[in-house]
Amino acid sequence: MKTTPGKDESAAATAAGQLARLRAQAGQARAALARLRQRVFEAERRPDGGREAQLVEANEQLLCSALSARNDADACALTLQEMSRSLRLDALTELPNRLLLLDRFAQAIAHAHRHGTRLALLFLDIDNFKQVNDTFGHAFGDEVLKLAARRLAESVRDVDTVSRHGGDEFLILLTEISQVGDAVDVAGKLTAALGVPGCVDGHEFRLNASIGISIYPDHGEDADTLMARADSAMYSAKRRGLGNCLFGEDCAGEQTDPVEPADARPLTQYERTLLEHDRQHGQLREANAELVLAALTAQDLQAAAERAQQQQKEFLAVMAHELRNPLTSIRLASTMLAQSGTSDPVRMQAIIEREVTRMSRVVGDLLDVSRANTGKLRLERRVADLAGIVDAAAVASGPAMELRRQRFTVQLPARAVALDVDPVRLVQVLGNLLDNASKYTPEGGEIDLAVAIVGDAVEMTVSDSGIGISAEVLPEVFEPFVQDGHAIGFNGVGLGIGLTVVRELVEAHGGSVVATSSGIGQGSRFVVRLPLGG
């Protein structure tokens, strides 16, 4: 019995090449993004009359580069995740597949060789499993295999490996056993775990298993030999009766064919023919099962790719909507400035600066999410007064609340509180929460920011009397681009990344943020918890 992981290794190499190309493209997009940001900075400092037009063009290119970088990063992460999963785990049971088992097997043999220790391989086959599939169907059989896989994994140590070999066969690699009897004890635990009554779809059942055992270096010094000896021993155990366990030496000299116990009568030619037919049928069934699982895995990957593409389309549509209004305002102000004597330059400049600030904030949030996902988010910590941070966030969010005639209250502790934080980032956190509360609270509503010392932490709570959050969306409210259906269009369309930025910044400070809501129309509540002193 030989294992040829060449095809899996080729797929892994192809995936690695694709991943490298995607990373290179993402790097080029980030470099272009840096150049465009420099152009924006230079355009803002130019005194000539074409400043506004150049600023519009630079911002448009900046946004395009940001979107391209985001798409490349998403594609890169999705490719890495899906390929890593498909190449290392069994699709049905999520146990290590043969490729991962062989990798761990090689490491275990090398370790045992260096330290003069032993390891054991158990080849386990569930008895009469074909009757389960024939009686209740393959869907029922798949659930039974999943349950069996969980029980086997729970019966061994964390350093050991349980792998699905194919069909109803499992391989269990036991590292660093002190004596041969340890493998027998583990085999007893495995059969006892499988023998516990189980229930699937209202049907109760018990499982028996036949186990073959091979020991390194007693029965071989390489993975193929040890697997062959354990396989042979398992077939010999199965012929002796259900639930038996045999060592590799009980079938010495045999590699792939089951052998007769010493006390058994010789097999007739007819019985040998039937036995060989059963073996070939089992191998064909295993090959067909692997083919079906591979097809299902390919369908899952295609569905995931289609979902990712749909999310990207929706994101681009929202981004276009978010940027359409500021770009229109900038172009209008620029045109009016070009017509001497027909406009107020100060007012037009204010419009341009307001819309550029809005666009810069959108791009800044996108970059913060990207930095957090790539581990490049950096904080500039220093000891800062919490009251000053709260005041800065309130001042920044005040105009929007005044425009909507909302009542805003702030509650601070009686004593001063100093935190070791990045004050700019913490102002951004509170500003995002206050802006979010104002945006989704009707005119005349109430918004409250309360700060309290709770144990060894400070809690900052932003609550509102707004439209609330639905129970379906609440668990995912901090995920990027997630927006509640009833909130879309209430007060403009957003990108759905403000709360994601809040979570990433708070967690970077070693804190946590939690969202609660009693439901639609019942307001919302966000609690940021940061440790005192850092």
- CA-to-CA distance for 134 and 132, rounded, in angstroms? 6
Mean pLDDT of the region 15-23: 72
Report CA 446 to chain centroid distance, whole Å: 37
Q: Which of 494, 487, 430, 424 is nearest to 458 (CA)?
A: 430
**Quick one: DSSP state of residue 532?**
T
Most confidently predicted of 37-46, 190-199, 305-314, 334-343: 190-199
Mean pLDDT of the region 270-280: 58
Are 73 and 370 within 8 A, CB to CB? Answer: yes
Is the peptide bond preceding residue 531 cis, with omega within 30 degrees of 0?
A: no
- pLDDT tens figures, 140-151: 889 999 999 999
For residue 420, pLDDT over 70 is answered with yes
- pLDDT tens figures, 447-456: 999 999 999 9
**85 is written with which tokens?**
């999963």
- H or E stretch at 460: strand 457-464
- Residue 297's pLDDT band, with cuts at 50, 70 and 90, is confident
- Enumerate the β-bridge partners of residue 117: none
- pLDDT tens figures, 350-407: 666 665 665 666 666 655 555 555 566 678 889 999 999 999 999 888 888 998 999 9
- CA-to-CA distance for 29 and 68, rounded, in angstroms? 7
- pLDDT tens figures, 157-182: 989 999 998 889 999 999 888 888 88
Range scoring the smallest mean pLDDT among 129-138, 214-223, 314-323, 520-529: 314-323
- H or E stretch at 201: none
Q: Residue 383: what pLDDT?
A: 92
Q: Which of 515, 486, 510, 485 is nearest to 498 (CA)?
A: 515
Are 445 and 466 within 8 A, CB to CB? Answer: yes
- Enumerate the β-bridge partners of residue 420: 383
**293 is written with which tokens?**
């699982």
Mean pLDDT of the region 505-531: 92
Are 492 and 436 within 8 A, CB to CB? Answer: no
Q: Residue 81: what pLDDT?
A: 58
**124 is written with which tokens?**
């386990």
- Residue 256's pLDDT band, with cuts at 50, 70 and 90, is very low
Catalytic residue among 72, 168, 231, 484: 168
Q: Which of 166, 207, 168, 209 is nearest to 186 (CA)?
A: 209
Range scoring the smallest mean pLDDT among 256-260, 424-428, 510-514: 256-260
Range scoring the smallest mean pLDDT among 44-58, 230-244, 379-393, 485-499: 44-58
Are 513 and 502 within 8 A, CB to CB? Answer: yes
168 is catalytic: yes
Q: Residue 129: what pLDDT?
A: 86
Q: How far is CA 256 from CA 238, 253, 273, 410, in A?
A: 14, 10, 15, 78
- Residue 502's pLDDT band, with cuts at 50, 70 and 90, is confident
**Quick one: DSSP state of residue 52?**
H
3-state DSSP of 89-136: ECCCCCCECHHHHHHHHHHHHHHHHHHCCEEEEEEEEECCHHHHHHHH
245-247 and 457-464 strand pairing: unpaired
Amino acid at 215: I
In percent, the amount of the chain with pLDDT more than 70 equals 63
- CA-to-CA distance for 161 and 297, rounded, in angstroms? 23
Confirm whether pTM is higher than 0.85: no
- pLDDT tens figures, 333-358: 666 666 655 556 666 666 666 656 65
Q: Residue 261: what pLDDT?
A: 38
Amino acid at 178: S
Question: Structural domains in the chain?
Answer: 7-88+307-374 (no CATH), 98-266 (3.30.70.270), 382-531 (3.30.565.10)
Range scoring the smallest mean pLDDT among 185-194, 232-241, 467-476: 232-241
127-131 long-range Cβ contacts below 8 angstroms, 24+ apart: 127/207, 127/208, 127/209, 127/210, 127/238, 127/242, 127/243, 128/208, 128/242, 129/167, 129/168
In percent, the amount of the chain with pLDDT more than 90 equals 24
- Residue 249's pLDDT band, with cuts at 50, 70 and 90, is low
- Residue 199's pLDDT band, with cuts at 50, 70 and 90, is confident
